[in-house]
Every structure is written in structure tokens, then in C-alpha cells.
Chains A and B, each alone.
Chain A
Amino acid sequence: KQEVTQIPAALSVPEGENLVLNCSFTDSAIYNLQWFRQDPGKGLTSLLLIQSSQREQTSGRLNASLDKSSGRSTLYIAASQPGDSATYLCAVPSGVMLTFGGGTRLMVKP
């Protein structure tokens, strides 16, 4: 059974810092990994989708990497802003369903 873990569970940083969110999964036989953002009381917004054949994906200040062999993915946020404050979730497909990590709650202070 696939298990997904995210570290840290919460993170508070001053504005402008570069930061890394970690995601690990137990079954490396995945065909993609997806990072989502969730604002309080809102749905999930897809940030990046990395295919198993890819090492990384970039969107603006966000960069996600994937190392299947070690069962790890990282989400790098450059020059963090208060608007980046949210919960970040990684997820991997298991059959037809997604298995989610517990999320990292990020707060960026002005």
C-alpha cells in the first residue's frame, strides 16, 4: 500500500526566503506525482505535475523535482511571498485514486 509523507508539517518563514518542501512515498512504481496548493476553506489547485520520466518541472517561482529511486520529491519556492501562505499537498496515483501526503502548512510573514 502506497504511503506518502510530507515534512515539515508546518513552516513559518520571513518574506523573501527560498524554501523547500519535502514529500516521500513508499512505492516507487508511480507514473506521476502532483503538487497541490490549498488555501483555507478552498479546493485544491494543481501546481505542478511531474511525470515519472521527468526529473523536474518548473512554473514561475516553483520548481518540483522527482527522484523515483529514492521515493522523494521536493517543491522549491523561490523568493517566498505572503501570498504563498497555504497548505501544500503532494499526491501520487495508486490505481484510479490519489494517495495524499498530510500536507505542509506554510506561512510567509511580511
Chain B
Amino acid sequence: SQTIHQWPATLVQPVGSPLSLECTVEGTSNPNLYWYRQAAGRGLQLLFYSVGIGQISSEVPQNLSASRPQDRQFILSSKKLLLSDSGFYLCAWSVLGNYGYTFGSGTRLTVV
């Protein structure tokens, strides 16, 4: 069966520090991978998506970047965090065909 792992679950980081959030998928090949952010009391915003290794599309210009070093690994990074980067970050995957999307359990990032 397919599973998706996200870590860490919570993170408190000072302003200006780097960030690395990791997401891995098991049980499927060549998935589309996504990073979403959910600010407090707000909706889900797509940040990045990837249709293959090394292929990253950015939906919103910002202080973050994403990388896909392996087929089932998606990493969200920042060199210097801002207060506005605080939020709930969700990784998701889908495959071609009408199978829907599956989300991870999320990472709560607080920048202080």
C-alpha cells in the first residue's frame, strides 16, 4: 500500500535560520509531488509541485525552494527563514489517472 511520510511534525526555528522539511512516498513510482502551506485560519496554498526527479515548478515566489533528489523524495528548504514563513506545511502525492491526492500528516513550523 502507498504511504507518505513527513517530518518533523513540529519545528520552532529562529528568524534567519535555514529550513529543511522532508517528504517521502512509499508504494508508488513516479508520483507527482506537492508542497502546500496553510497559514493560520486560512486556506491551502500550493507552493511547489514536481512531476519528476529534478523537475520543480513554483507557484508562488517566496523565500522557499524545493528539490526532488529521488523519485519518491521531496524536500522543502529555505536559506533564511522569515516570520511570515510560519505555517502548516503539507506534502502530497498523486499519480496519473483518476486516483485522487494523498496528503501527509504535516509539519507545524513556527518562526520566532
Contact = CB atoms under 8 A, between A and B. Distances in A.
Contact of B49 (A36, A41, A44, A96): A96
Interface of A: 31-32, 34, 36, 41-46, 49, 51-52, 89, 91, 93, 96-98, 100, 102-103
Contacts of B44: 89, 98, 100
Q: Which 6 A-B pairs have the closest CB atoms?
A: A44-B103, A49-B100, A43-B105, A43-B106, A43-B103, A32-B98
Interface residues of B, number: 23
A32 B100 CA distance: 8
Contacts of B88: 41
B37 interface: no
Given A43-B105, A46-B100, 16 more contacts: A32-B98, A32-B100, A34-B100, A34-B101, A36-B103, A41-B108, A42-B105, A43-B106, A44-B92, A49-B98, A49-B99, A96-B49, A96-B94, A97-B49, A98-B44, A102-B43
A100 B103 contact: no
B36 to A, nearest CB: 8
Given A32-B98, A43-B90, A51-B98, A97 B59 contact: yes
B74 interface: no
A42 B106 contact: yes
19 contacts: A34-B101, A36-B103, A41-B108, A42-B105, A44-B92, A45-B103, A46-B101, A46-B102, A89-B44, A93-B101, A96-B32, A96-B94, A97-B34, A97-B46, A97-B49, A98-B34, A98-B92, A100-B43, A100-B44
